[in-house]
């Protein structure tokens, strides 16, 4: 191990008490804003989500810095690496260190195989400019709009199951209920209901964390519903396709580009999921009775 700062024994989430300045913060903490109502102000405590810089390095070479919630960091490291195609298989990640840095920042140090590092070096040499959140470290516009794999087509679900998947998300969002300020990505299966959920201030980060958690648990992302609390942008479709997700349901609307890419990748894209229904944008044949 090469840690410069203390690392919790489980290598996962941050500490709750923030007792050591070299340890990263808890994912949420209490604040006391002034609540204004009827021309009067009074203190009213509430929980706020933490946001901290998370640096990802590969073989000690800096790659990206993401603003993220300091929890489920091992999952984030694995999921980000898989979804950004830095590695093709989780076995190509040889080691992960979670290192606390000054002022609450965190460094995720990943050691990957020589072949994958060589490919990453080639990508970095060809990097022409910085990209936005969810498109980190890409070579070009062509890479940003890379052709996506076509997912399997053997999943069939009832509308009631989609509703159940969406309804299961909020009760499981512990951090979301504390703060009202984070996104969630969940995975629901007909056999086991909600089997995994990850939260983060960034929707891309939440999905990367979920991807890492599923691969660690040996769970097949193609055999259930990916449920998101956010709008659906192209980056989420790209990540879902790489994961092999067949059905993605979100509480908000998708972009037009996301719809086009979901159609091409064979993903059933569902949006505007509410208690009274939802809208199916692509591949409605997976939802029994929809056609």
- Tokens for 161? 């199951």
Could you list the pLDDT tens digit for every one of the 291 residues in the chain? 333 323 333 333 332 333 333 477 889 888 888 778 777 678 888 887 887 889 999 999 999 888 899 999 999 999 999 999 999 999 999 999 999 988 788 999 999 999 999 999 988 876 544 444 444 444 344 555 578 999 999 999 999 999 999 999 999 999 999 999 999 999 999 999 999 999 999 999 999 999 999 999 999 999 999 999 998 988 899 999 999 999 999 999 998 889 989 999 999 999 999 888 899 999 999 999 888
- Among residues 80, 54, 90, 91, the alpha carbon closest in space to that of 137 is found at 80
What is the rounded distance in angstroms from the CA atom of residue 14 to the CA atom of residue 200?
13
Which DSSP state fits 169? T
- Residues serving a catalytic function are 133
What is the rounded distance in angstroms from the CA atom of residue 291 to the CA atom of residue 26?
47
Beta pairing, strands 61-68 & 52-58: antiparallel
Domain architecture of the chain: domains with CATH: 28-144 (3.10.20.10), 157-288 (3.40.140.10)
Beta pairing, strands 40-43 & 157-158: unpaired
pTM of the model: 0.79
Please answer whether residues 236 and 203 qualify as being in contact, where contact means their C-beta atoms are separated by less than 8 angstroms: yes
Contacts of 161 (CB under 8 A, 6+ apart): 190, 225
- Among residues 258, 217, 219, the alpha carbon closest in space to that of 241 is found at 258
Average confidence score pLDDT of the chain: 85
DSSP-based three-state secondary structure for 180: coil
Please answer whether residues 201 and 49 qualify as being in contact, where contact means their C-beta atoms are separated by less than 8 angstroms: yes
């Amino acid at each position: 191990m090469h840690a410069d700062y203390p690392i919790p024994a489980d290598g996962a989430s941050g500490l709750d008490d923030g007792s050591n300045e070299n340890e990263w913060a808890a994912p949420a903490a209490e604040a006391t804003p002034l609540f204004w109502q009827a021309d009067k102000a009074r203190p009213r405590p509430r929980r706020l989500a933490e946001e901290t810089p998370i640096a990802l390095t590969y073989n000690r070479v800096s790659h990206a810095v993401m603003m993220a919630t300091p929890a489920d960091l091992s999952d984030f490291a694995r999921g980000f690496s898989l979804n950004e195609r830095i590695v093709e298989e989780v076995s190509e990640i040889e080691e992960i260190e979670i290192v606390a840095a000054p002022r609450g920042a965190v460094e995720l140090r990943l050691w990957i195989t020589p072949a994958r590092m060589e490919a990453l070096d080639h990508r970095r040499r060809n990097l022409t400019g910085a990209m936005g959140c969810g498109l980190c470290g890409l070579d070009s516009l062509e890479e940003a709009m890379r052709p996506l794999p076509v997912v399997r087509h053997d999943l069939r679900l009832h509308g009631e199951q989609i509703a159940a998947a969406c309804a299961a998300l909020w009760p499981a969002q512990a951090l979301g209920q504390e703060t009202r300020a984070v996104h969630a990505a969940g995975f629901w299966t007909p056999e086991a209901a909600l089997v995994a959920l990850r939260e983060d201030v960034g929707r891309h980060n939440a999905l990367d964390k979920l991807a890492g958690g599923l691969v660690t648990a040996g769970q097949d992302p193609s055999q259930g519903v990916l449920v998101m609390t956010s709008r659906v942008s192209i980056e989420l479709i790209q990540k879902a396709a790489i994961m092999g997700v067949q059905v993605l349901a979100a509480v908000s609307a998708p972009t037009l580009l996301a719809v086009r890419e979901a159609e091409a990748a064979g993903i059933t894209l569902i949006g505007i999921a509410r208690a009274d229904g939802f809208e199916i944008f692509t591949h409605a044949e997976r939802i029994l009775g929809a056609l």
